[in-house]
């Protein structure tokens, strides 16, 4: 039956596809990436499904992008560990991983986790229309079978696609994990009935907090609070770094008090410069940069009396990662994948985005035991509230307020060490969600 809600959804999906095509034709890189990752997509899935042994099925995880995959990783790893430990195991657990956005797709292609196996498969989720989903599920169906070879479909955080869930739910269990429901946000308000029906079709709804459980209960949807697996992910990443991989940064910092600007934008860079004083160290890691960013930053720091070096110009290589860095006051870190190393070498963190559209990841500095500052745009993130309540994080109302408090705290070791200890304790206290969610999913692994 074609309801008004479903008709609107169909129209939105068709318009979205048209807009993607138009944006790609006019040179938009993200739109072109979205289309490129779907080229030959069904053929890849068919070939992967063809390799399934008799009786094997996919454990399907879907993530929108990089952030959702960070939540999925601890769950997938724990599920693989638990599955491998089962007595009488005759075959490996096989993952089908799908992404929606090109950023997640590209990041995974360049940084596959150690637990990933050649027998696993990665694909792009098609647009949420009946024909697209039907074709994708057909590609997941072995030759001669009547339905897709699925143990379950696990959706990360917000990825509740109505047509996808409607079709998959007839053949396998569909679970949402690491969900975070904000009162008043779509679809939990007026006119959201069609999308709420998709939530009601879910076999299990595993959310991060009791607040989300309560909000969902208002709409007749049962849920369980299981925590946020990102805590597991950041603690694992911090442990994996080890002392050796960040020794050169720590040696460069020495006995100085070091601030890390993480995923920073212009406001955070300004705050860091205005808070800096001689004898202090700073590592600036931007959220985005171009060819001119580092040189401009270098000039601006010089105007403050600080000498800044550019990471890419230090000629660091994998063969010589621990070569001593040149003496300077500031490192301008223009390279991907180095932020956790920077947090491991610092003592204080100014996390970017809080003076813009929304603060970035505060769990990474917390896992490394850093005292944390952000701007005021933090409303969507429960962990920010938790870190603030335990005294580990300061939310500044304005840039000037942030400069004033950060400048004083940068040289106050007693304060920032106390904040950092609280941050790390908070992160450790919330670990273990990945294992718990995996245990819930293991119930759907058929023999």
Instruction: pLDDT band for 290, please (50, 70, 90 cuts).
Output: confident
Structure-block tokens of residue 323 = 């070569």
Residue 247 has pLDDT above 60, yes or no: yes
| Cβ count within 10 A of residue 47 | 12
Of 388, 382, 386, nearest in space to 374 by CA: 388
Q: Report the distance separating Cα 213 and Cα 142, nearest Å.
A: 38
For residue 372, what pLDDT band results from cuts at 50, 70 and 90? very high
Residue 87: what pLDDT?
Answer: 44
Mean pLDDT of the chain: 91
What is residue 206's three-state secondary structure? strand
Which residue ranges form the domains of the chain, and what is each CATH number? 31-229+432-442 (3.40.50.11720), 234-429 (3.40.50.2000)
Identify the three-state secondary structure at position 142: coil
Instruction: Report the pLDDT value the prediction gives residue 249, as an integer from 0 to 100.
Output: 86
Q: How far apart are CA 178 and CA 68, in angstroms?
A: 9
Query: What would the pLDDT profile of 83-105 be if each residue is shown by its tens digit?
Result: 865 545 556 799 999 999 998 89
Residue 424's pLDDT band (cuts 50, 70, 90): very high
Reported as a pLDDT band with limits 50, 70 and 90, residue 381 is confident
Number of Cβ within a 10 Å radius of residue 217:
11
Lowest mean pLDDT among 21-30, 80-89, 226-235: 80-89
Helix (H) or strand (E) holding 60: strand 58-63
| 318 has a pLDDT exceeding 50 | no
Residue 126 has pLDDT above 80, yes or no: yes
| Residue among 191, 186, 193, 219 at smallest CA distance from 205 | 219
Q: How confident is the model at residue 341 (pLDDT cuts 50, 70, 90)?
A: confident
pTM recorded for the entire structure: 0.85
With a pLDDT cut of 90, the percent of the chain lying above it is 73
Residue 105 φ/ψ, nearest 5 degrees: -60, -50
Over range 211-221, report the average pLDDT.
93
Q: What is the pLDDT of residue 189?
A: 84
* HEC assignment per residue over 164-183: HHHHHCCCCEEEEEEECCCC
pLDDT of residue 325: 86
Report how far residue 157's alpha carbon sits from residue 382's, in angstroms, rounded to the nearest whole number. Answer: 13
* pLDDT for 281: 97
Q: Is the pLDDT of residue 316 over 70?
A: no
Mean pLDDT of 332-349: 90
Using a pLDDT cut of 70, give the percent of the chain over it.
94
Distance CA 303, CA 297 (A): 10
> pLDDT at position 422, please?
98
Cα gap 231→228, rounded to integer Å: 6
As a whole number, mean pLDDT of residues 158-183 equals: 94
Six-digit token string for 334: 């223009």
pLDDT value of position 20: 94
Compute CA distances 124 → 35, 44, 99, whole Å: 10, 10, 5
Asked if residues 278 and 330 have their Cβ atoms less than 8 Å apart, the reply is no
Omega within 30 of 0 (cis) for the link into 187: yes
Answer whether 213's CB lies under 8 Å from 183's CB.
no
pLDDT of residue 314: 80
pLDDT at 345 exceeding the cut of 50: yes
- Residues with Cβ < 8 Å from 39, sequence gap 6 or more? none
Q: Report the alpha-carbon distance of residue 34 to residue 20 in Å, rounded.
A: 8
Give yes or no for residue 135 having a pLDDT over 70.
yes
Question: Residue 66 contacts by C-beta under 8 Å, 6 or more apart in sequence?
Answer: 103, 104, 107
Give the CA distances from residue 275 to residues 296, 400, 406, in Å, rounded to whole numbers and listed in that order: 18, 10, 6
Residue 1's pLDDT is what?
A: 61
pLDDT digit string (tens) for 41-80? 999 999 999 999 988 999 999 999 988 999 999 999 999 9
Least confident residue range of 102-111, 310-319, 320-329: 310-319
Cα gap 269→256, rounded to integer Å? 19
Which residue bears the tokens 């944390």? 372
Contact in structure between 257 and 416 (CB atoms under 8 Å):
yes
- For residues 441 and 79, the answer to whether their CB atoms sit within 8 Å is yes
Task: Give tens-digit pLDDT for 171-199.
Answer: 999 999 999 888 888 888 878 888 999 99
């Amino acid at each position: 039956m074609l309801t008004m809600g479903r008709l609107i959804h169909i129209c939105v999906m068709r318009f979205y596809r048209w807009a993607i095509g138009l944006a790609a034709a006019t040179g938009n890189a993200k739109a072109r990436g979205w289309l490129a990752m779907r080229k030959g997509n069904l053929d890849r899935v068919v070939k992967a499904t063809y390799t399934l042994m008799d009786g094997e099925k996919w454990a399907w995880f879907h993530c929108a992008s990089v952030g959702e995959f960070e939540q999925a990783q601890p769950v997938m790893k724990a599920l693989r560990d638990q599955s491998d430990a089962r007595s009488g195991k005759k075959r490996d657990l096989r993952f089908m991983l799908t992404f929606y956005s090109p950023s997640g797709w590209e990041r995974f292609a360049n940084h596959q986790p150690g637990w990933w196996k050649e027998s696993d498969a990665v694909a792009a989720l098609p647009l949420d229309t009946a024909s697209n989903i039907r074709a994708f599920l057909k590609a997941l169906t072995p030759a001669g079978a009547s339905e897709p070879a699925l143990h379950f479909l696990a959706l990360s955080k917000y990825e509740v696609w109505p047509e996808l869930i409607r079709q998959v739910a007839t053949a396998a269990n569909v679970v949402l994990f690491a969900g975070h429901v904000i009162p008043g946000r779509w679809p939990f308000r007026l006119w959201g009935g069609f999308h709420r029906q998709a939530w009601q079709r879910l076999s299990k709804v595993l959310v991060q907090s009791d607040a989300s459980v309560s909000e969902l209960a208002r709409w007749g949807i049962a849920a369980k609070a299981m925590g946020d697996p990102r805590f597991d992910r950041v603690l694992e990443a911090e442990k994996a770094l080890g002392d050796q991989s960040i020794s050169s940064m720590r040696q460069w910092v020495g006995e100085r008090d070091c601030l890390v600007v993480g995923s920073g934008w212009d406001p955070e860079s300004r705050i860091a410069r205005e808070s800096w004083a001689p004898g202090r160290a700073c590592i600036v890691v931007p959220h985005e940069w171009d060819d001119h960013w580092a040189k401009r930053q270098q000039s601006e720091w010089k105007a403050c009396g600080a000498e800044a070096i550019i990471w890419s110009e230090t000629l660091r290589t994998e063969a010589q990662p621990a070569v001593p860095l040149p003496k300077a006051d500031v490192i301008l870190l223009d390279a991907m994948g180095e932020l956790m190393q920077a947090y491991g070498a610092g003592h204080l963190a100014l996390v970017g985005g809080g003076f813009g559209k929304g603060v970035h990841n505060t769990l990474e500095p917390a896992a490394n035991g850093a005292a944390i500052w952000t701007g005021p745009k933090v409303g969507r993130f429960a962990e920010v509230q938790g870190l603030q309540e335990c005294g580990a994080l300061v939310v500044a109302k304005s840039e000037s307020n942030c400069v004033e408090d950060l400048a004083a705290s940068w040289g106050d070791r007693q304060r920032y060490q106390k904040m950092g200890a609280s941050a790390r304790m908070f992160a450790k206290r919330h670990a273990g969600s990945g294992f718990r969610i995996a245990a819930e999913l293991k119930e759907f692994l058929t023999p």
